[in-house]
Amino acid sequence: MPCRLVNPYVQPVLHIRRPGSDLDETYRFPDDDPFFSEISVFIDNAEDIEEDPETATMLSSYEGTIPMSRAVPDHINAIPRRRMQDI
């Protein structure tokens, strides 16, 4: 399913084309800055941990996140190589 993200740090717009369709579905996220949102949540949790470690929770651990950040691009990069092997 091809997708395209336009202007992610100002006015994010996601365009998705589903299989069998020539039309793009458009999703707008007004006033959303994904980088700011991510950093803001991280800082809020870090401050909560300092105040009361029992109430603050991180949604994912370092061990659960970092390996996946490499696995996804590696998987995407392997797709053309697998297709070339099939030819």
**Greater confidence, 77 or 61?**
77
Instruction: Report the pLDDT value the prediction gives residue 63, as an integer from 0 to 100.
Output: 64
Choose among 14, 40, 12: nearest CA to 26. 14
Q: Is the pLDDT of residue 54 over 60?
A: yes
Ordered by start, the domain boundaries in the chain are 3-86
pTM here is 0.41
Distances (CA, A) of 59 to 29, 48, 84: 22, 13, 38
pLDDT, mean of residues 37-56: 74
